[in-house]
Amino acid sequence: MQTYDLEADGLRGLNSSLQAQNAETNQTRWEIVNPKGSHAIAVGLDAPIEVTVKGSTGYYCAGMNQQATIKVEGSVGPGVAENMMSGQVIVDGDASQYAGATGHGGLLVIKGNASSRCGISMKGIDIVVHGNIGHMSAFMAQDGNLVVCGDAGDALGDSLYEARLFVRGSVKSLGADCIEKDMRPEHLDILRDLLARAGSDAKPEEFKRYGSARQLYNFDVDNAAAY
């Protein structure tokens, strides 16, 4: 186990050390102490290593992650795992705005609640939120799965593309072109797998599925009132 004191040794040293790891490294387990809400912790990693952050972080923790498993034993600021490509990010606490924004792949698990715009413009990432999510989540979401074990705020899935949204609780309102859809067996399989990987004991059958009505995919002036 490599232990890195962020307060004492600084952000640049941390990220350069983590980014220097590759598939052959034997330094596969890292622990970051004294994060104290710092921004851009463990960004741009590209190796199959495990990083545990002992405390809460600021903006963009685990940004653009590839391969690494990053666990935050606290809460995270805006943009956790933004543009993640692969790997896993697990947050024990709550997440601020834009969690998983534009992510292309990998799994983001938030064991608490996520604030507004969770999964905005997501492009293939899977996000599982054990609690609730805020308004405008999955705005313009293109691909991937957003699973919400609690409730969703206003305008869920506004201007959605091909991402799949699963919500167990209530949805305050749906955004433009987002509708409830049938839950088919393949969707239950997706949900079952994601819930298991995210450590949730929720049952797939308790969820509803939401997706795009695909009415806004090509510009039509008669739809202007929907924009």
Q: Which of 6, 128, 140, 165 is the binder for other proteins (CB under 8 A)? A: 140
Which of the ranges 77-85, 145-153, 172-180, 187-195 carries the binding residues for other proteins, by CB under 8 A?
77-85
Which residues, 6 or more positions from 43, have their beta carbon under 8 angstroms from its beta carbon?
15, 60, 61, 62, 63, 64, 65
Which of the ranges 58-66, 87-95, 108-116, 199-207 carries the binding residues for other proteins, by CB under 8 A?
58-66
Q: Which of 2, 142, 150, 169 is the binder for other proteins (CB under 8 A)? A: 142
Three-state DSSP class for 12?
helix
Query: How far apart are alpha carbons 118 and 133 in whole angstroms?
Result: 7
What are 156's strand-pairing partners?
174
* H-run or E-run covering 196: helix 185-197
Q: Which of 1, 185, 218, 225 is the binder for other proteins (CB under 8 A)? A: 218
37 lies in the binding site for other proteins (CB under 8 A): no
Measured at the CA of 173, the angle between CA 93 and CA 111, to 5 degrees, comes to 15
The structure tokens listed for 132 are 């609730």
43 lies in the binding site for other proteins (CB under 8 A): yes
Give the position of tokens 């806004």.
Answer: 216
- Tell me how far, at minimum, the Cβ of 199 lies from other proteins, in Å: 26
Query: How far apart are alpha carbons 79 and 101 in whole angstroms?
Result: 6
Which of the ranges 41-49, 149-157, 178-186, 189-197 carries the binding residues for other proteins, by CB under 8 A?
41-49
Query: How far apart are alpha carbons 33 and 55 in whole angstroms?
Result: 7
- Tell me how far, at minimum, the Cβ of 201 lies from other proteins, in Å: 31
Cβ atoms within 10 Å of 114's Cβ, excluding its own: 32
Which of the ranges 115-123, 149-157, 185-193, 202-210 carries the binding residues for other proteins, by CB under 8 A?
115-123
181 lies in the binding site for other proteins (CB under 8 A): no
15 lies in the binding site for other proteins (CB under 8 A): yes
In order of 25, 48, 76, 110, 150, the CA distances from 154 in angstroms are 45, 37, 22, 19, 14
Judged by the rule CB under 8 A, the positions of this chain that interact with other proteins are 11-12, 15-16, 19, 39-40, 43-44, 46, 58-60, 63-64, 66, 78-79, 82-83, 85, 97-98, 101-102, 104, 117, 120-121, 123-124, 139-140, 142-143, 159, 161-162, 217-219, 221
